[in-house]
Structure 1
Amino acid sequence: MGIAADILGLGREFIDQDFARRTHLDWPREDRDYTVAAIIVGHAERNPAKSSPVNHLGHLHYPAQSAPNWFDLIDAAGRIATVG
């Protein structure tokens, strides 16, 4: 299950609850999800080439309201977008 269960909770219904309780007592989560996100944003701020508005780094680094959409990216590449 790995990180999908740990971060997103996918498949957590298959994890023995006693095992999960003991694991969290020994290794507390301590907001790990948000800590990992902050580390990712730090990497993107130090090297913007690592982040793009269309990958998971970009979704953390660029605020949602300022992220370009697909057509913005096409326009920035010098192409004329036509729809329909």
Structure 2
Amino acid sequence: MMLNLVRYVRVLGNLVHAIQIKTKLCQLVEVMMERRDDLSFCQEMKFRNKMVEYLTDWVMGTSNQATDEDVKCLTR
């Protein structure tokens, strides 16, 4: 269920509310992984790898967009 939620939030974009939602979701993932002994994981490593992939997409997406905007400003 968490992966589905992260997958949905991944496409929200970079508006203020979307960034707030992404921040809260990252905090939730952090707390969840701190308490993973209390949770039942069927395939924890697969879950962790997918989570890292999705969260990396968020970070790379924002850094790529910022770079594109910087290039536009320089070429004007």
Larger relative helix fraction: 2
Q: Which has the higher contact order (CA 8 A, sep 6+)?
A: 2
Q: TM-score, normalised by structure 2?
A: 0.34
- Rg bigger for which structure? 1
